[in-house]
A and B are shown apart, each in its own frame.
Chain A
Amino acid sequence: MTTAAAVRTAATREAYGPTLVKLADAGVDLVALDADLAASTGGDKLGRAHPDRWYTVGAAEANMIGMAAGLAAAGKVVYAASFAVFLPGHCFDQIRVSIAQPKLNVKLIASHGGVSVGEDGASAQAVEDLALMTSLANMRVVVPADVVETELALTAAAYSDGPIYIRMGRPKIPVIHDERHEFRIGKAHLARPGDDVTVVACGLLVGAAIEAADALAAEGVSVRVLNMSTIKPLDEAALAAAAAETGAIVTAEEHSVIGGLGGAVARWLALNAPVPMEQVGVQDRFGESGAWTQLLERHGLTARGVGDAVRRVLARKA
């Protein structure tokens, strides 16, 4: 399922342009907007294939969101893309009032999520976007684990009416899925079976969690890995089963420990199935410049960081 394909690497954002072109070729009545970052999001590929379906609005994210809302209200399937620091960071109120509240059919595509942006530093590293977006009623939030899942998520969004936020990343990371992978909005994917503890991960931490699970297996620890690529709505059935069957949870994400996947899982567990839980994430701090791999190390967003959290939670497990 995963090891054979793991030699290939790709950035999740690489899925964006080609998927838009496929959707437009397939007859989806879509319009995509960029805000002067098309070279990084890849949205301009749609513009070359279907010039009347892609527009860059300049470095003006607030206006892009409003335009997206207007297009959606006229029946278009709309994709609006930028960096995760700007979308939602530059235009949260526009998303709130113009898209989420009226529940318009806009797909918010945020590239360059998390600290793995690297050298651009703190201002460019979104570690709060999931907190902002999960806080909005009517908004769904997805963080795909690799390029394969990103294409599936972008495609599923086209055929699922309503607002959705999909976060992509900058660096090339291992491709952990092949063409048999199935993705459904709101459905967790069992990346590794296991009985002693469950790691609930999203984004590039899914690959790290799988690596950790493999390492811990050698120590006799059976780690379940759930790819919770949809953070909202959470797959509550998968969480309930994980809590009941493994009795300990670790969340892992490239985001602040406040308000993202860990926050959502902690809330659900506290209300429904309290079991020991640990978090792998950014510890309420800003990022900084550095190579993306160095930054992942610094924040513990690695297989080793996941393994450490697993040991901590197992020590608390009754």
Chain B
Amino acid sequence: MPRQPKKPTKKPGKNNKPIEKKSVYVYGPVAAVFNSVNTGSWRILKPDVDNILCIGCGQCKTFCPTGVIEIDDDEKQPPGKIVVIDWAYCKGCGICANVCPKECIEMVDEKEEK
């Protein structure tokens, strides 16, 4: 099994505002500490987006099964858009690379320095 980070990858709550915890006990198979949901740690290959070729069409965002891709505005890039990936949850499945109409996403080795 991949080693999990010791600290939660994201603070819970909208806009990372701390939550006022209700003091109740809950029973059952449940976890409230999110140490073990860092599915990004499963990644062997990671998508590498060529932001010069990218037209910001958003197909990768549409097809991403984990919903970790956002298309943000970025004036520095040619189409005015940039692909942003949440590395804490991207499992490196490669679907984005497969659906990209400009073929500008390449799956590269996770450990490879780029």
Tell me if chain B binds chain A.
no
Binding site for A on B (CB under 8 A): none
Chain A residues within 8 Å of B, Cβ to Cβ: none
